[in-house]
Amino acid sequence: MRYAYALTTAILLGGAATALTLNQPAGAQTAQNEPGTIAATAPRPGAPMSFADMVAKLQPAVVNISTTQRVKVDNVNPFAGTPFEQFGPQGGPTTQKAESLGSGFIISADGYVVTNNHVISAGNQKGVVVESITVTLPDRREFKARLIGNDTLSDLAVLKIDGQTNLPFVKFGDSSATRVGDWVVAIGNPFGLGGSVTAGIVS
């Protein structure tokens, strides 16, 4: 699965990459991206192009993902076996609230979202239950999402925002055309404070 894996490594840690193009349904709030218009002016020989136009088109579909979790905590009495045992925690295990943050990107106008599995999953931790998943768009709109499927080996997860039909989204490109030395850009929104952008090359 060269196609899927290349996108995983190049995209998910940041949220999007040059292998993606932005697509939006009619009436979407941000400008449509016509095929072949990502690159702006041709770069000078030997100099990298600017990624600003591409980032501006992709960023509306790059989202912040936050989860609320319940973590099972064992009550350990530090005074056990001493005359002060009664002053320590009593009873069985309790639960505490925990949160996680990460990035993802919308892949369809009706709200399918791809993210890293570790963002929305407790992994191998016992006693951890994910109670809710919230997807926040760059325009500050928030939606509850549900888990559709996940794969721990590839660290991928697919979420679904229900009740939406007009969300900005990205379209997968053909990673089989990617060559060593090509530029790659990662766009993310891990903390919900605005997008981050980094660039590198395929190696």
Confidence of residue 123 (pLDDT cuts 50, 70, 90): low
pLDDT computed for residue 75 by the predictor: 63
> pTM of the prediction?
0.67
Pairing of strands 156-161, 112-116: antiparallel
pLDDT in tens, 169-203: 999 888 888 999 998 889 998 877 777 899 999 99
Topology at the third CATH level for domain 2-34+48-76+91-201: Thrombin, subunit H (2.40.10)
pLDDT in tens, 11-44: 433 333 334 444 444 444 443 343 433 444 445 5
CA angle 27, 33, 35 (to 5 degrees): 130
Q: Which two tokens stand for residue 45?
A: 């020989």
> Region 119-148: what's the mean pLDDT?
85
Surface-to-core class of residue 46, CB atoms within 10 Å of its CB (0-12 exposed, 13-18 middle, 19+ buried): exposed
Dihedral angle of Cα 138, 197, 188, 124, to the nearest 10 degrees: -160
